[in-house]
Structures are given as C-alpha cells and as structure tokens.
Amino acid sequence: MTRAQVTMGRVGRIGKLSLVLAFVLGSLALAPRTAAAGEEDDLQRQIETQRAGVNDLDRLDDLRATTDEITMLRTWLDEAWSLRSKHEYDQVREVLDRCIAQAELVRQKISAAKLRAQVQKREATVNDLRAKITGKKKALQDTQIKKKALEEPTT
C-alpha cells in the first residue's frame, strides 16, 4: 500500500466515523421531539377521556347537585388543553391530576345527593305510616269507648 492509499484509508475511516457521529447526533436531536410528540398525544388522550367522563358525570347527576363542580371540571380540562397546545406538559399533568380529584369529588357528591334523596323519601314514608298508626290507634280507642258504652247496662 502506498502512503496515499493509507492516508485515503484513514480519511475514509475518519469520514465514516464522522458520518456515524453525525447520524447519532442527528438521531439524538430528533429523539426529544419524538418523545414530546408521544407525550403530547398521551396527554391529549387523557384530556379527551376525562372530557367523556365529565359528560357521563353530568348524565349521572340527575338531581343537579354538582353543576358548579362539573362546570369547574370542564374549565380545568379546557385549561389543560390550552397548556398542552403550548407544550407545557408538566402543568398539563398537574391540571389533569386536579381534574381526576375533582371528578372523584363529583362522584362522591352525586352518591351523597342520591342517598340523601333516598333517606328523605324513606323518612316521608315512615312519617306517613306513623300518621296512619296514630289515626288507627285513635279509631281503635274511639271504638273501644263506644263498645264499653254499649255494654254498660242502661238503668
């Protein structure tokens, strides 16, 4: 091998190494964007899932006990969507965590309102039965008084 061929071989190896290095660095430069795009898609999916959940909660709230909380939840989901479009993913996660807690609060308030309505209905039934019992006792006492009056000998 001549000295020129050896030099060309070294340049070729250096060229290959620099090409590989450029490829690796280029891949690394693209990696965060790909991860961010995947993260953005994941956050978008979470927001859309929670929005669908809000609609379900709204349908469950037939007593309208949580309208303010549901409105606040929708506002927070809009805020999360806005932050997602600004690529502020940490803040989006914080808002989504707040939304999850708010949705749980809404579920519990809906359950409490339904149980409260059930208790009120049962208390009304008990009060009606007590009134009927009181009426029947009075009627029984009146009947017993009439019976005694009829059984007494008339003199």
pLDDT digits (tens, 9 = 90+) for 108-122: 999 999 999 999 999
For residue 118, give its domain range: 3-151
| pTM for the structure as a whole | 0.67
Provide the 10 A C-beta neighbour count for residue 12.
Answer: 11
Helix pair 3-60, 67-85: axis angle to 10 deg: 170
| Confidence (pLDDT) at 13 | 62
What number is the average pLDDT over the span 70-78?
97
Work out the mean pLDDT of the chain and round it to a whole number. 85
Which pLDDT belongs to residue 128? 97
Give the number of domains in the chain: 1
**pLDDT single digits (tens) 22-33:** 555 555 555 444
Is residue 104 within 8 A of residue 70, CB to CB? The reply is no
